[in-house]
Amino acid sequence: MTKDGKYGVGVFGIGWVAGEHIKAYLNNPQCEIVALASRRRESAESKKAELNLDCDILDTYDDLIKRDDIDIISMCSPNFLRAEEIVKACEAGKHFFAEKPVAHNLDELKTIKAAYEKARKKHGIKTICGFSILYYNQFLCIESMIKKGALGDIFLVETDYWHELGPWWHGWTWGCYTKKGGPSTSLLGGVHSVSALLKIGGDVDEIYAVETCGHRKEYEYAPTYTSVVKFKNGAIGKTGGSFEIESPYYFNIIVHGSKGSILNDKFFTKEVFAGQEGYQDFNCTLMNSGEVSHHPFSAIVDAFVEDIENNTDSKLRLDFTIKVHEVCMAIDTSAATGKVVKLPLL
């Protein structure tokens, strides 16, 4: 804790998304930004000046981990560093907010799972991951409708993440262009659609996927995929993603139940509206932008701090995050082998 009795926060990797993490902590009265660190010190210095922060600038991630006045670590660095960062945070007993993906392969996933389970028992750490979709008001409305029975029994779920990415994105060289930093479209962007898929449909039993390079040839992996899913409860679904679409960002979400349906920004349920004759619009903040400034980071941080305060676990905790990554890795395995893949993988 800081001398003011607040949770001390250290942020590592001061790029596109880090500014929104920082703003979210600044909006929470129980948090204080203690230090920033980055592989490029000038990035941290610039962000400190931009947001008029009173904090230290450190040179390495290890410098953050060693600080006794830092309770929470936000991991916003390139994703190929994430697994090692998580293990170190677990060993140090730090709560952490990890951007996705948290692992590139099953070996990394096993490693962070073991470190996390040990740290939960030893330190009682709390974790959260950057699946921003799940804290949009539109998704919260969908969850509420399902919980209250407005859609009945869910039997079909579709989610897709369509977001053109290219050299304009600052993470292009490590995130999309090369396999060194971006192992697959599903792990880099599709995790958002998979997180929504699992929250609505439940655990996946098996999956079959196909992928393609539609027209963008600069990628070192297929930038477009789609998959068919069978859930353990008998429902079915579809999930996919593309970085090569020639259209604005779009998050596709379709849900069909025995008493109603969701069609992206619209809903239909005679269970609640007996005389309904056509779809109604969601009157709330929609999941319709890929800009990080549009994402509900304050809601995520607030839920995270509440978990720490009350010893609860949010819907974005690391064990759920691991399930999401398992499904993404199953998608990649199926697309590579042409075979149906059974889950769980771990």
| Backbone angles phi and psi of 168, in degrees to 5 | -65, -25
Residues 200 and 327 in one domain: yes
The answer to whether residue 2 sits within a structural domain is: no
Range of the domain at 327: 133-290+323-342
Q: What is the rounded CA–CA span in Å between residue 78 and residue 80?
A: 6
Residues 305 and 329 in one domain: no
Interacting residues of 127 by C-beta distance below 8 A, sequence separation 6+: 95, 96, 97, 98, 116, 317, 318, 321
Residues 63 and 162 in one domain: no
Total of domains in the chain: 2
Residues 103 and 203 in one domain: no
Residue 228's pLDDT is what? 98
Residues of the chain with pLDDT under 70: 177-182
Q: What is the rounded CA–CA span in Å between residue 323 and residue 195?
A: 9
The answer to whether residue 196 sits within a structural domain is: yes
| Backbone angles phi and psi of 290, in degrees to 5 | -90, 0
Residues 137 and 243 in one domain: yes
Kindly report the CATH number assigned to the domain that includes residue 215: 3.30.360.10
Residue 143's pLDDT is what? 97
pLDDT tens, position by position, 279-338:
999 999 999 998 888 999 999 999 999 999 999 988 889 999 999 999 999 999 999 999
Work out the widest C-alpha separation in the chain, in whole angstroms: 62
Closest by CA position to 196, among listed 296, 324, 94 = 324
Residues 100 and 143 in one domain: no
Residue 292's pLDDT is what? 87
Residues 56 and 27 in one domain: yes
Kindly report the CATH number assigned to the domain that includes residue 105: 3.40.50.720
The answer to whether residue 1 sits within a structural domain is: no
Residue 78's pLDDT is what? 87
Q: Which residues pair with 207 in a beta bridge?
A: 229, 341
Residues 221 and 179 in one domain: yes
Residues 164 and 127 in one domain: no
Q: What is the rounded CA–CA span in Å between residue 299 and residue 304?
A: 9
Residue pointed to by tokens 């952490």: 96
| Backbone angles phi and psi of 272, in degrees to 5 | -105, -40
